[in-house]
Structure 1
């Protein structure tokens, strides 16, 4: 009996040793491929940099632990992926240095928040053969560079979408455009004017365009809003016209407008969430937002797709932050880049990776993992000829209880043409409201 017992023990030890050795041997075979992220992890723009980095890491963890625990096959090797992050501190002069540090760390691809901030290293992308995806909304991005791609909605898509929705629902006759001055503000303001005319149907002589200097404090919007009220504007368009035109500035505008008694509508380019609104505007934030319609990407808590919302809850549970539209973009960017490497059969030959990326078909190895609603370009390609992707635009509104809901989902091309519009069914709004209530109980 004892002999049998000891024999079994010896066999068990041998089996464990063999399995462990096999696991170690398999782990030894898995190589690491690095993807770089240059962004604003600290400073006043960290509200954008941190979520993007989290979304990228969320995707990489999924690749390494769920889809390819034994390594993703690329060429003759197996790979896991590592996200290498460099912080620019929300400082434009630091951004090129942060990007160069990434290039020096052997990354096969780079992702950034504001590509225009790292223009000094653009020649290095070609020299070191590293493709880059930017998340910048500004039209100053140099997409004509064959190593640069953009995966996000642009002003030429968002602004016409917002203007068209407000035209359809409310038929405004007069409008005000607010924008910063400067190299970003003036082109951004002009795009709002163009959108109000072409998509919004408002005659140019019925649009007043006001530009403000930056930096600007919240109460300093009052003269501009007073003028808009005197102009009898039915709608005020603002957002994505520079660094001081984001969510905090939008909230400052809404506060001042309410104090003035402005009764018109707001069309904005901002992805404000209920968490941000509550933080900035206070517990009665809904009272400021009843006439606000904001253009953005489709975020994971406001999507009509229940599966995407479930994925958003997984993200929320892990990172304890709202899955804004940048989170699906960040996830998708990782799926796209590793697929390009797999299609190229290499993580070291940048020319092959960039060629695979440039000609990536709309249906590629991991396309089923994408979270962002997309449309193909150039027939069946992921990008247009400049490297711009086409994802759907969400025009979001707010219920009286402060729930952000989709007012419309649109496909808008880069010329501003509305390709299609869908409106959410009542049951979707009901589901979103219930999910919002459940989140706020926790």
Structure 2
């Protein structure tokens, strides 16, 4: 009986090894449900398409790529559970996720499991200040975003500025960074700095407080759902003050929520939209995406997730390994100017993307996002 048990165990291990040789697993964690579901759905479309294209060319290291997806719901607690599930699936790396607070809830889980994590929309500074060996991101940091935001505010000739955030890791961090940069400007006064409560349906009370300070511009550093409601409700109040947002307001749903009339004139700072990506790699990918799904990507963050998938599979090929230590070392020290969909990609020793990425957009009267010169 014991011999039979040992034989069965050995056979199962052999079969498991054979299965591993036939496929390599990459995790995808994104908000498939919840307030940011449009981002998560498109993240999955992008990564699935890239995996399909890569597998058609033979996969990686002779193995087909299998994408294992988990829904984080845009919620830190849900994300921690999703990360724990992914960590037991034999994945080499995980792509995602979108929100900074959501990513922060998963970082230690992946780091302790020695799983490469490449975030695509998590820009909070502190995420890469923890010395985590396996953490990377294809999106830039909020201190870089704050520099562009501050320059734009000054360029617009703002004298009285209101800054509104939502107390999230991302929004509060961007608000603080921008405030610090502008405090040295003697020609500009910050007349309001406070937070709203996210996911509410009525922001007239805080809009009324903002209006009383008579700002020339309101800089809202939160997400597109709240931004859309703010724009809609300030128009209903007949308050014509211009608003500006950070990169988390870069989503077509902003216009759907606000209405094109209310959204017109809204500025936001962001990585380039898919339609404005200049590289040949991006043009080829966008054509393939459009052919498969019948429309181009709506948001840049799923494309940044695609870049995460592309750099990690490239690193696997270059190191001829799925060893996380070898992949991390390669991404930190040897990957230089990789031709990403969103531009050249290199990482510093903290796992941050190197180089300037942010641009300024303005919403026109048709609700289109137009790149500012």
**Are 1:98 and 2:82 an aligned pair?**
yes
Aligned counterparts of 1:269 and 1:292: Cα–Cα separation in 2: 11
Aligned counterparts of 1:355 and 1:56: Cα–Cα separation in 2: 23
SS in 2 for 1:38: strand
- The count of corresponding residues between Structure 1 and Structure 2 is 350
Give the alignment of 1:266-345 within 5 angstroms.
Answer: 266-270=243-247, 272=249, 275-282=252-259, 285=260, 287-303=261-277, 308=282, 311-319=285-293, 320=295, 322-345=297-320
Residue number in structure 2 paired with 1:388: 352
Q: Based on CA coordinates, which of the two structures has the bigger radius of gyration? A: 1
Deviations 1:191-233 (A, max 9, x none): 23124446xx4656x102332352453432x233333333221
SS in 2 for 1:209: strand
TM-fit CA distance, 1:394: 1.8
1:37/1:71 CA distance change after superposition, 3 Å: closer
SS in 2 for 1:211: strand
TM-fit CA distance, 1:112: 2.2
TM-fit CA distance, 1:280: 1.5
**Are 1:252 and 2:229 an aligned pair?**
yes
Residue number in structure 2 paired with 1:57: 48
SS in 2 for 1:33: strand
Alignment gaps of 5+ in structure 1: 1-27, 240-244, 376-381, 408-422, 424-442
1:271/1:58 CA distance change after superposition, 3 Å: farther
Contact 1:163/1:267 (8 A) holds in 2: no
TM-fit CA distance, 1:346: 1.0
**Are 1:134 and 2:134 an aligned pair?**
no
TM-fit CA distance, 1:150: 1.6
Alignment gaps of 5+ in structure 2: 1-18
Residue number in structure 1 paired with 2:139: 152
**Are 1:373 and 2:343 an aligned pair?**
yes
**Are 1:109 and 2:93 an aligned pair?**
yes
Aligned counterparts of 1:274 and 1:91: Cα–Cα separation in 2: 19
1:197/1:311 CA distance change after superposition, 3 Å: farther
Residue number in structure 1 paired with 2:161: 175
**Are 1:33 and 2:24 an aligned pair?**
yes
Contact 2:28/2:67 (8 A) holds in 1: yes
TM-fit CA distance, 1:388: 0.3
RMSD of aligned C-alpha atoms? Answer: 2.9
SS in 2 for 1:94: helix
Out of 57, 64, 72, the position equivalent to 1:80 is: 64
Aligned counterparts of 1:111 and 1:29: Cα–Cα separation in 2: 20
TM-score in terms of structure 1 length:
0.71
Deviations 1:298-349 (A, max 9, x none): 12124466874564354244234633111321221111001111122112x2
Aligned counterparts of 1:273 and 1:389: Cα–Cα separation in 2: 20
Residue number in structure 1 paired with 2:175: 189
**Are 1:236 and 2:218 an aligned pair?**
yes
TM-fit CA distance, 1:149: 1.0
1:263/1:91 CA distance change after superposition, 3 Å: closer
Contact 1:192/1:237 (8 A) holds in 2: no
TM-fit CA distance, 1:57: 1.5
Aligned counterparts of 1:115 and 1:264: Cα–Cα separation in 2: 29
1:196/1:251 CA distance change after superposition, 3 Å: farther
